[in-house]
Amino acid sequence: MAQIAKSSKSTQKKEAYQKKQEEGGKKVLEYIFGALLILAVLFVVYSIFIVS
């Protein structure tokens, strides 16, 4: 009986950790895409000034 409780506790910890990692990963992806978007806009502005 104690083994079952121990394994379910371990499973709950793993699930909580996995959920935390997933949320952190989504946040990192948002920052990366935001930075790429800003760089793309800056490149467009730079290109316009170089051409004109």
Task: pLDDT tens for the chain, 52 residues: list them.
Answer: 555 656 688 888 888 889 899 999 999 999 999 999 999 999 999 999 998 8
Q: Report if residue 17 sits inside a domain.
A: no
Q: Report if residue 48 sits inside a domain.
A: yes
pLDDT for 50: 93
Cα–Cα distance for residue pair 3/7, rounded to 1 Å: 6
Q: Report if residue 18 sits inside a domain.
A: no
Q: Report if residue 38 sits inside a domain.
A: yes
pLDDT for 2: 53
Give the range of the structural domain holding residue 48, as residue numbers without chain letter.
Answer: 24-52
Structure tokens at 43: 């490149």
Give how many domains the chain has, as a whole number.
1
Cα–Cα distance for residue pair 3/22, rounded to 1 Å: 28
